[in-house]
Amino acid sequence: MTQTAKKKPAAPQSNKFKPKKRRSSRTALIFWICLVLVAAPLIILGWILFSSAMNTHKPVLGDRYKDDLNPAIKSEQMKEIKTKSEGVEGVQSVDVEMATATLRVYVDVADDATAETATSTADSVYKAVAEVLDPSVYFTKTDSEKMYDLEIHVYTEAERKNTEGENFVYVVETKTSSMDAPASEVVSTAKDAALAQQLRDDVTARKAAAASTAAAADGGTITVGGNEVQATEAPAE
């Protein structure tokens, strides 16, 4: 009788795909960690930029004004001030800005306006501001609370250009929270005209002497009385 050979049971085959699954899980985990590390700073930066854009033209107030500036000046009131100021006679353009508890109104007037005209315009703009914001409320501090300061800038040019025939007039009317009434000053005119002219003459003389010395050292030309002449000697002391 023939014996039937018993087949050996086949050895269980190891799952060849398990390491790959482990490797795939590890790769996915690393991918998500890297994604979070990259995305987190971008999300934070985006939020900062978005917040900054939303707060544009709003005053940046630190702890120094905590529990102060009440009532606060709102953007709608600033727009109304701009509209009313533009209606003042002689005003060409108006900008209204808020900078750390100081309301500034910039007013451009005609290039030929005088200091008296600019001062009168500043007074009229102050009245326009007062129609929107009561100075006794918004621009007057109390014993327990700080309030806003007000500056009104009226000018023919935003800055001096020192061009021929220039009529530079710049008036600033100020009402700080500690002042009882506003005060105007023509800042484009020196309080001591003689001293101011002397300082300007000294600067001009220094520049001319430096230019003459440099030209003489280079053997070049210097300008005398509007004419260029050969510089052969250093200027006499």
| Residue 70 within any structural domain of the chain | yes
The predicted model gives 55-68 an average pLDDT of 62
* Residue 16 predicted with pLDDT over 70: no
A 10 A CB-CB count for 172 gives 19
Cβ partners under 8 Å of residue 184, min gap 6: 119, 122, 123, 171, 172, 173, 174
Give dist(CA 105, CA 123) in Å, integer.
Answer: 12
pLDDT band (50, 70, 90) for residue 6: low
Residues 131 and 175 grouped into a single domain: yes
Closest C-alpha to 160, from 195, 187, 120, 184: 187
| Residue 140 within any structural domain of the chain | yes
pTM listed for this prediction:
0.57
Report residue 174: phi and psi, to 5°.
Answer: -120, 140
Residues 205 and 157 grouped into a single domain: no
Into how many domains does the chain fold?
A: 2
Residues 194 and 140 grouped into a single domain: no
Q: Which domain holds residue 162?
A: 65-186
The answer to which of 18-32, 38-52, 84-98, 217-231 has the lowest mean pLDDT is 217-231
* Residue 102 predicted with pLDDT over 90: yes
Residues 198 and 90 grouped into a single domain: no
Residues 69 and 182 grouped into a single domain: yes
- The three-class DSSP label of residue 178 is coil
Give dist(CA 61, CA 98) in Å, integer.
Answer: 11
- Please state, rounded to an integer, the average pLDDT across all residues of the chain: 81
Residues 209 and 120 grouped into a single domain: no
The pLDDT tens digits of the residues spanning 130-162 come to: 999 999 999 999 988 899 999 999 999 988 887
- The three-class DSSP label of residue 207 is helix
The answer to which of 16-25, 39-48, 150-159, 206-215 has the lowest mean pLDDT is 16-25
| Residue 98 within any structural domain of the chain | yes
Residues 198 and 167 grouped into a single domain: no
| Residue 22 within any structural domain of the chain | no
| Residue 6 within any structural domain of the chain | no
The predicted model gives 52-77 an average pLDDT of 74
| Residue 72 within any structural domain of the chain | yes
Domain CATH number, residue 99: 3.30.70.1350
* Residue 88 predicted with pLDDT over 90: yes
Instruction: Determine how β-strand 170-175 pairs with β-strand 183-186.
Output: antiparallel
